[in-house]
Amino acid sequence: MEMRLCGEEPWKMAVVGAGYVGTVTAVGMAELGNQVKIYDIDEYKMEQLYESKTHLYEPGIDSLLLKHRRLNNIYPTDCIGELIEDVEIVFICVGTPNKPDGGINLDYVKSACKDLKAAGLKENVIVVMKSTVIPGTTDGIIKKEFPNNPVAFVPEFLREGAALEDFMKPDRIVIGTKDSVAEVQLGYVYSFFDCPKVFTDARNAEMIKYASNSFMGTKISFINEIAGICEKTGCDVEVVAKGMGLSSHIGEKALHAGPGWGGSCFPKDSFALARLARAKGIKTRMIDAARITNNKQAIHVVDMCGEVKGRKVAVLGLTFKANTDDCRDSPALRIVDELKKRGATLSVYDPKASMFGEAMRAEIAYCPDVSSAINKADIVVVATEWDEFTRLHPDDFEDMRGTIIVDARRILNPGKFKRHGFDYRGIGYGKSI
């Protein structure tokens, strides 16, 4: 393949898969001045893209997509032949969901490879794997399908809700390949980013992604455990986390106590890593403990409510965190399920939750706003840290029947609510508040 130099013509890129990673990669790469085509087998996602919209709720993404559609920098296509025509790099960004035993389902990856091959992907095109896969997958499955192409694994470290910011300002870039052409060319592609870069093989890059997500989950479970101890010892976990996080050995990120971690990444990836280790005869005591602690955290939130049987509990927030409509593996849903199990009557409100699929639960009143959700509620649980909830004042809770407010995200002002006669209970606050 002819070597290119950084800063020459825009790169001609193709993205397979228009989920979070694929859409953000496409839009982000266009914003960096590249020509990007994007493809998905899902008709709805394609229809949205043709209309210059995404199926996601992700701050800033629709306006950036529209900008680059107008500039002709992004071209959606549902024809894989057209997708790969005249491209230099293909990013594979399809889903790798868990199987019931924790292993990852590679069906989408395999079928994307087969489709690319059947469409006649040229041998000089760099194939970049971005879907999270267990070590050995890129060198195994991808390289096997494309033996003569330069192949690499380049993990994406983006948080839903802040995905564009993370894409544009990454704290590190990892380029995993043994292929010298891929290494040099991807070095050019990513030269725009002024951050540390790790050049390694695909296997290490794949493990970096799993280890990072599993570590962050472990770190959050650790602080949630400390939060529980704080509650019994008169300490405040936020102050403790701040004091800890200032150490460069610890770091302040992923140290915010809450209802436990969820989403499409930490639960899936820690499960898959533990499963992989088990298959190799290795016990993952740390990761297992982090997962157990995490599952118990929602139970702890419900315990904080006291007796809930026959009482009306309003849950504010269903998404797995703020600024996303994603409810996958959401701790809020774990709380809802536990409350239901204990016989509570439920009303819920979320400003953006995709109210379908996993989020839907029977016998729950889905309310259009906060005030209708908390009307006549005995207990209110704040499960997601939406800005809208952060701004709530004690006066907004006037129509409650009871006084118990359980703040699983620590976003309300405890003193203010207590002064207004509420029985405020927040994660990680000791009795002194």
The footprint of ligand UGA (CB under 6 A) covers: 132, 156-160, 213, 216, 220, 254-256, 258, 261-263, 265-266, 320-321
- H/E run at residue 81: helix 80-84
Q: Minimum distance from CB of 320 to ligand UGA (Å)? A: 4
Q: Minimum distance from CB of 197 to ligand UGA (Å)? A: 16
Q: Minimum distance from CB of 11 to ligand UGA (Å)? A: 22
In the bound state with ligand UGA, the residue whose beta carbon lies nearer, of 255 and 412, is: 255
Please list the active-site residues.
265
DSSP-derived 3-state class of residue 386: coil
Q: Minimum distance from CB of 329 to ligand UGA (Å)? A: 8
Nearest to residue 167, comparing CAs of 323, 36, 21, 326? Answer: 21
DSSP result, 156-215: ----TTSHHHHHHS-S-EEEE-S-HHHHHHHHHHGGG--S-EEEE-HHHHHHHHHHHHHH
DSSP-derived 3-state class of residue 364: strand
- H/E run at residue 414: helix 414-419
In the bound state with ligand UGA, the residue whose beta carbon lies nearer, of 80 and 272, is: 272
In the bound state with ligand UGA, the residue whose beta carbon lies nearer, of 23 and 213, is: 213
Q: Minimum distance from CB of 156 to ligand UGA (Å)? A: 6
- 411 residue type, one letter: I
Radius of gyration of the chain (CA): 23
Cβ neighbors of 145 (< 8 A, separation 6 or more) are 113, 114, 116, 117
DSSP 99: P
CA 301, CA 296: separation in Å to the nearest integer? 9
Q: Minimum distance from CB of 256 to ligand UGA (Å)? A: 3
In the bound state with ligand UGA, the residue whose beta carbon lies nearer, of 157 and 190, is: 157
Beta bridge partners of 236: 429
In the bound state with ligand UGA, the residue whose beta carbon lies nearer, of 27 and 83, is: 27
CA 41, CA 94: separation in Å to the nearest integer? 10
CA 213, CA 221: separation in Å to the nearest integer? 12
In the bound state with ligand UGA, the residue whose beta carbon lies nearer, of 203 and 256, is: 256
Q: How many CB atoms lie within 10 A of CB 362?
A: 5
| Cβ-count burial 153-177 (b if 16+ within 10 Å, e if not) | bbbbbbebbbbbebbeebeebbbbb
In the bound state with ligand UGA, the residue whose beta carbon lies nearer, of 150 and 170, is: 170
CA 269, CA 264: separation in Å to the nearest integer? 9
Q: Minimum distance from CB of 52 to ligand UGA (Å)? A: 24
